[in-house]
Amino acid sequence: MTRLELERKLRKAGWTFTQGSCHELAVSPDGKKKVTIPRHKGDIPKGTALAILKEAGLS
């Protein structure tokens, strides 16, 4: 899964994003949860992508 695909899923769920130097910070719609997304070339490893989605409460 690419970073952009992961961001689309989170944006569709209402998450907003702020940019850091090497990572994006996703903030939940209610502002209580924060998830970091690596901004690297290529695909995000499957386990990492699944962990980010799980932490965000998505499947």
Task: Compute the distance between CA of residue 36 and CA of residue 55 in angstroms, rounded to an integer.
Answer: 10
Task: Compute the distance between CA of residue 20 and CA of residue 36 in angstroms, rounded to an integer.
Answer: 9
Specify the residue for token string 């769920």.
Answer: 13
Q: What is the mean pLDDT of each run of 10 residues along the chain (59 residues)?
A: 93 93 92 91 92 91
At 55 the pLDDT is 94
At 21 the pLDDT is 83
